[in-house]
Amino acid sequence: MNPELPRIALTLGEPAGIGPDIAVMMAQKGHPADITAIGDAHVLEARAKALGLPLTL
C-alpha cells in the first residue's frame, strides 16, 4: 500500500449481480488508489473464470 494514495473499499453487492464482474474488470487496470474488494472470494474467482480474466487474490 502506498500511504499517499486514497484507500477505497468496494463492496461486491449481490453475488448474482454485476458488482463482481465490475470488481474483476477493475482489477485488470491500475488505479490512483488502493482499492480493496469486500465480498466472497469464491464469487470473484468464479466470475474471473467465466469472464476469462486473470485474478490474483
At 17-42, the pLDDT tens digits run 999 999 999 999 999 999 999 999 99
By CB atoms closer than 10 A (0-12, 13-18, 19+), residue 57 is: exposed
Split at pLDDT 50, 70, 90, the class of 3 is confident
On the question of pLDDT at 53 being above 90, the answer is: yes
Q: How confident is the model at residue 45 (pLDDT cuts 50, 70, 90)?
A: very high
What is the C-alpha separation between 3 and 47, in angstroms, rounded?
Answer: 30
8 Å CB contact between 41 and 57? yes
Task: Name the pTM for this structure.
Answer: 0.84
Contact 36, 9 (CB under 8 A): yes
